[in-house]
C-alpha cells in the first residue's frame, strides 16, 4: 500500500438544481486534481440538494431521484472524473426499478461507477427506504468505506465498516446549525451569511461554537481514533434551502488529528496525503485486535428500546 492523496470540499448547493451543483463539483474537482489528489469527496446530496426534500411528496421525490448507474447525474460525475482524471464521490437521491427511493452516495471514476452506498438511517423524507448493507471497496490499494451523516452517530456502523477492512471512511454530511436537545445547539441566522463580507467575525463565532464545529469536535475525531481509520468528512456551507450550514469539511487521521480543513466562508477544496503507516501505529489498530467478542456478542444483538423519532424541523420548529 502506497501513500494516497485525497481531497474534501464544501460548497453552497442549490436545491434541485443538478446542473448548477454538478458545475461546482466540476470546478472543485479540477482544483483537487491540481492539488495532486486521486479522489475528491463532496457532501450528502451534493448533486441534488438536501433540506428541501423534507417538503416533497412521493411523486416529487421519484422525479428528483435517478437510477444508479444509468442516471444523468452519475454520467455527469463520470464526465467530471474523466475530464480531471480524478475519482469523484458525491450524493444524490436514488430510485430502483421497483420504485423504491434511497439516499445514495457514489464513487465514480473515468471508467464509471466504482461503489454505491445507501444511507442506513434516512429521515429527511418519509418515502425513503433505508439501506441494508455496508460497503467497502478497493481504491488504489486502499480499502474504503462510506457512511452517510446519521449513520456515523451509531457507533456500531463505524466499527463494523472498520472491521470489514476499511482504511478510509468517507463521511458525507449535511449537519450542524440545527436545533437539538444538546446544550448550545440551534439555527444560525441567515442574515449573518448575507453579511459575511462585512462581518465575518460574528458568523465565524456562530459556526465555530456549540452550534457548529465545537459540537463536531466532541465526536468526529473519536470515530477515527477508536477505529484506527482515516475519516474524510464533507459538509455544505451556506444556505441549504432555508437552513444555514457551516462547512468545515476536513480529513482526520487515525490518531484523531485534523490533517486539513476547509476554513473559508465559501466554496473550497482542501487536500491531504494519507500514509499507510499510521493505520497500524494508531491505538485503534490495537483496540480492534484486543477485542473479546465473546463477552458482548449477545449484548450487541439485543433489540433496541423504544426511542424518540428523529425528525427534521423547519426554522419555525415545525416538521
Which ranges of 111-229 does DSSP label H, i.e. alpha helix? 155-163, 190-194, 200-208, 213-216, 220-227
Write down all domains in the chain, each with its CATH number in brackets. 4-300 (3.60.110.10)
Nearest in space to 165 (alpha carbons), one of 140, 190, 137, 192: 137
- Note whether 238 and 262 are within 8 A (CB): no
Q: pLDDT digit of tens for each residue in the chain (319 aa)?
A: 999 999 999 999 999 999 999 999 999 999 999 999 999 999 999 999 999 999 999 999 999 999 999 999 999 999 999 999 999 999 999 999 999 999 999 999 999 999 999 999 999 999 999 999 999 999 999 999 999 999 999 999 999 999 999 999 999 999 999 999 999 999 999 999 999 999 999 999 999 999 999 999 999 999 999 999 999 999 999 999 999 999 999 999 999 999 999 999 999 999 999 999 999 999 999 999 999 999 999 998 898 876 555 555 565 555 5
Q: Burial-class residue 208 by CB neighbours within 10 Å (0-12, 13-18, 19+).
A: middle
Distance, CA of 319 to CA of 317 (rounded, Å): 7
pTM for the model stands at 0.95
How far CA 195 is from CA of 198, 247, 264, in Å, comes to 6, 17, 15
**Three-class DSSP category at 297:** helix
Amino acid at each position: 500500500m502506497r501513500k494516497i492523496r485525497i481531497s474534501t470540499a464544501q460548497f453552497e448547493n442549490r436545491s434541485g438544481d443538478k446542473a448548477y451543483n454538478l458545475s461546482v463539483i466540476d470546478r472543485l474537482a479540477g482544483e483537487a486534481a491540481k492539488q495532486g489528489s486521486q479522489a475528491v469527496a463532496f457532501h450528502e446530496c451534493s448533486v441534488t440538494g438536501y433540506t428541501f426534500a423534507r417538503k416533497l411528496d412521493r411523486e416529487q421525490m421519484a422525479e428528483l431521484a435517478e437510477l444508479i448507474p444509468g442516471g444523468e447525474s452519475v454520467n455527469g460525475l463520470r464526465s467530471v472524473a474523466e475530464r480531471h482524471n480524478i475519482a469523484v464521490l458525491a450524493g444524490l437521491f436514488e430510485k430502483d426499478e421497483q420504485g423504491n427511493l434511497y439516499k445514495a452516495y457514489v464513487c465514480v471514476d473515468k471508467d464509471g461507477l466504482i461503489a454505491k452506498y445507501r444511507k442506513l438511517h434516512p429521515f429527511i423524507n418519509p418515502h425513503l427506504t433505508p439501506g441494508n448493507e455496508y460497503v467497502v471497496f478497493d481504491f488504489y490499494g486502499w480499502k474504503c468505506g462510506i457512511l452517510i451523516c446519521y449513520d456515523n452517530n451509531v457507533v456500531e456502523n463505524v466499527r463494523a465498516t472498520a472491521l470489514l477492512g476499511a482504511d478510509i471512511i468517507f463521511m458525507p454530511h449535511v449537519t450542524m446549525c440545527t436545533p437539538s436537545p444538546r446544550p448550545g445547539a440551534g439555527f444560525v441566522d441567515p442574515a449573518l451569511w448575507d453579511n459575511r463580507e462585512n462581518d465575518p467575525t460574528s458568523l465565524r463565532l456562530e459556526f465555530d461554537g456549540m452550534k457548529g464545529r465545537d459540537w463536531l469536535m466532541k465526536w468526529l475525531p473519536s470515530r477515527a481514533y477508536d477505529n484506527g481509520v482515516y475519516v474524510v468528512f464533507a459538509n455544505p456551507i451556506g444556505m441549504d434551502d432555508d437552513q444555514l450550514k457551516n462547512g468545515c469539511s476536513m480529513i482526520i487521521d487515525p490518531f484523531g488529528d485534523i490533517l486539513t480543513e476547509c476554513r473559508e466562508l465559501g466554496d473550497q477544496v482542501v487536500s491531504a496525503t494519507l500514509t499507510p503507516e499510521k493505520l497500524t501505529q494508531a491505538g485503534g489498530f490495537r483496540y480492534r485486535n484486543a477485542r473479546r467478542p465473546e463477552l458482548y456478542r449477545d449484548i450487541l444483538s439485543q433489540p433496541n428500546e423504544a426511542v424518540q423519532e428523529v425528525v427534521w424541523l423547519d426554522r419555525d420548529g415545525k416538521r
